[in-house]
Amino acid sequence: MTKISRRSFIPILGTAVVGASCLSIQEPSEFLTENGKILPTLLKKGDTIGVSAPAGGIKNKSELDDFKKILEQLGFKVKFSKNCSKKHGYFSGTDEERASDFMDLILDTEINGIFFLRGGWGCARILPLLDFDAIKSNPKVIMGFSDITSLLNAITSKTGLVTFHGPGGNSTWNIYSVDYIKELLIKGELVHYSNLKTDLKITSYVSGVASGELFGGNLSVICSTIGTGYLPNWTGKILFLEDVGEEPYRIDRMLTQLEQSGVFKNVNGIILGVFRKCIAEEPERSFTLEEVFEQHFSALKIPVFYGAQIGHVRNKFTVPLGAEVEMNADEGSFRMLEAAVL
C-alpha cells in the first residue's frame, strides 16, 4: 500500500486539479498559534467547500444534490471529489480512490473547507495512505463525525491542525445545528456549549471543573483505533464520546477497553454526548445504559457528565478537536478557552 503524497499525487490527479498553483504548498507558520497549534482560516460566504466520501458510499445520487443545496443556502460554493457517487461494496471507492479524493481537496487551493457526505466505515483504512505533512502545510476547515472520528483524531494528533466534529451530508442541518457552525466556523467565536436551548437531560456522574484539549468522537471508532498510532496522547485531555445503535453490553465492553488501555486515568475529564438507540434487545437480561455509565464513571476522580448535544442527534454541537476547553460537570456544560479558527 503506497502513501498518497504530493509526488505520487500528480499522476493520480489527472485533470481533477487544474494548474500548478493548485499544488502549491502554503507556509504553515502563517497558521501557527503561540502554543504550536495550526488553525484554519474561518469560513465566509463565497468560500468553496470540498465534499468527499472517505467512508461509506451514498445510497442515492440525490444525496449529493441535497447536500449541495444546503451548503449553497449557507452561501458556499461546492466542489465534489471525483469518486463521491461511486460504489465499491460498502465504500465509495477503493482505499486508494478515497484517499486520493481527500488529498485532492487538501491540495486544491480553491478549497476553503472539507465536509463529508456520510460516515459508515472506511476512514481508518485510508489513514496509512494520507500525507500528513501535506495536510499540515495546507490547513483548512475539516468537519465531520461518526466514522470520520478516526480521520479527525489522526489529523489533529499528527499535525496539530484543529479539526471539527460536526454534521455531515446526511445529517440534520436545522437552525440549532447551523447556529453552532456559524458561531464556531464563520464568526470565530469562543463558544459556550450547554443544553439550555433543549430539554435533553444532563446527568453528572462526578462533579467538578476541568480543562484540557478536546479530543474524541464516536466510541466504537475510538476503540477500534487504539494501538494504531492515530490517536493522541490522552494525558491532560478532555475526552468526549458518543454512539448510536449499540446495546449496553457493547458499550460496557468498549468502555472497559478504554479503561484498561489507560485512557480514563490519563484524561482530565469526560463529556458523554448522546448515545441514541443504545438499548437492550432483552432488557430483562441487561443493565441499562445509565447503569453501565454509573459502573464505569462514578468512582473516577475526574469530572464526568452525560447528555451533551454531540453525536447522532438532530440538534448538534459542532466542537473543535485540539482546542483547549473547560468543562463543568455540575452544569453539564463546556466552553472554549481559545480560538479554533483564524
Distance (Å, rounded) from C-alpha 57 to C-alpha 44? 29
The answer to whether 316 and 16 have CB atoms below 8 angstroms apart is no
| Neighbour count for residue 2 (Cβ, 10 Å) | 9
Helix or strand run (H / E) with residue 143: strand 141-144
| Neighbour count for residue 251 (Cβ, 10 Å) | 21
User: Which among 92, 100, 137, 146 is annotated as catalytic?
Assistant: 146
Distance (Å, rounded) from C-alpha 301 to C-alpha 208? 9
- Say whether 242 is catalytic: yes
CA distances in angstroms from 94 to 80, 82, 276, listed in the order given = 17, 13, 30
- Say whether 296 is catalytic: no
User: Which among 81, 137, 246, 312 is annotated as catalytic?
Assistant: 312
Residue 156, amino acid: T
Helices (H), 52-148: 62-73, 95-107, 123-126, 132-137
- Say whether 312 is catalytic: yes
User: Which among 63, 97, 213, 242 is annotated as catalytic?
Assistant: 242
**Which residues are catalytic, by number?**
146, 242, 312
